[in-house]
Amino acid sequence: MAEAKVAIVTGSSRGIGRGIAERLATEGYNVVINYFRSRESADEVVAAIQDSGGKAVAVQADVADCKGRDALVNAAIENWGRLDLLVNNAGITSQGRKDLLEATEESWDRVFATNLKGPFFLAQLAANRMIESGKKVGTIVNISSISAYATSTNRADYCMAKAGMQMMTWLLADRLADEGICVYEVCPGVIASDMTAPVKEKYDRLIAEGLSPIRRWGSPDDVAKAVVALASGAFPFSTGDRINVDGGFHIRRL
């Protein structure tokens, strides 16, 4: 039997990351589950994967911190001796969702450290491990957002960090193509998770009014299916692409 592939999914104790981790496990990946504060939830994810016959390990790590990033890559190598896929999913929203005229440097620093600096340097670390393996193959998927191009004036730092993720994806895709590593950006729309729970009523209304052509909330599994497809090798002549998982939100309409 072929050796199982190994994935790291950041922020996989809850929400979209959990959905991605569980679907990757179903596809036969051994998965590094990453949590920051929610240890119990991460243990639940590991147990659910193991109960279905898969392999997973939970690792506490702050992606904004270099020691945390080291711990994630080391967990993949120490447990299973390889790394095939990094999913940069962990992310936080703007602290306090303050109007742009009231936005704080504290929120900016935390959002940029978690949503852009962490993913970049983790991708750097993961890419170096993939290159060292000599296999000339690997995938990096960055979970961005429709906020990379749609303004929310009460989440300026979040929008700017997500916009930066597109250039980060292009840069990595350009540099890593010769190493056999493909890099993609996935832009979820409105997805049901703890992040959107506080604004549920607003989005219920907007969706009912036709915010996106497909009139429903997205689910973590909608995003997970896209990630699995990208990691499957089904797009061997594509890199740097943005995949929208947004019910068609990105289409300009009259």
Positions annotated as catalytic residues are 158
Q: How far apart are alpha carbons 241 and 40 in whole angstroms?
A: 35
Number of H helices, E strands in the chain: 8, 7
DSSP sequence for 9-55: ETT-SSHHHHHHHHHHHHTT-EEEEEESS-HHHHHHHHHHHHHTT--
Q: How far is the CB of 3 from ligand NAP (least distance, A)?
A: 27
Q: Any contact of residue 10 with ligand NAP (CB under 6 A)? A: yes
Strand partners, 33: 9, 58
Query: What phi and psi, each to the nearest 5 degrees, are found at residue 110?
Result: -70, -45
Applying CB under 6 A, among 57, 84, 86, 89 the residue interacting with ligand NAP is: 89
Site for ligand NAP in 129-158 (CB under 6 A): 143, 145
Applying CB under 6 A, among 151, 194, 213, 229 the residue interacting with ligand NAP is: 194
Q: Any contact of residue 34 with ligand NAP (CB under 6 A)? A: yes
Q: What is the largest CA-CA distance in the chain?
A: 58
When the beta carbons of 61 and 75 are compared against ligand NAP, the nearer one is 61
Q: How far apart are alpha carbons 115 and 112 in whole angstroms?
A: 5
Length of the chain: 254
When the beta carbons of 110 and 129 are compared against ligand NAP, the nearer one is 110
Applying CB under 6 A, among 3, 37, 174, 199 the residue interacting with ligand NAP is: 37
Q: Which residue has the tokens 């900016």?
A: 108
Q: Which amino acid is at 188?
A: P
Applying CB under 6 A, among 30, 94, 107, 114 the residue interacting with ligand NAP is: 114
When the beta carbons of 36 and 184 are compared against ligand NAP, the nearer one is 36
Applying CB under 6 A, among 17, 54, 138, 247 the residue interacting with ligand NAP is: 17
Q: Any contact of residue 119 with ligand NAP (CB under 6 A)? A: no
- Point out which residues bind ligand NAP (CB under 6 A): 10-11, 13-17, 34-38, 61-64, 89-92, 114, 143, 145, 188, 190-191, 193-196
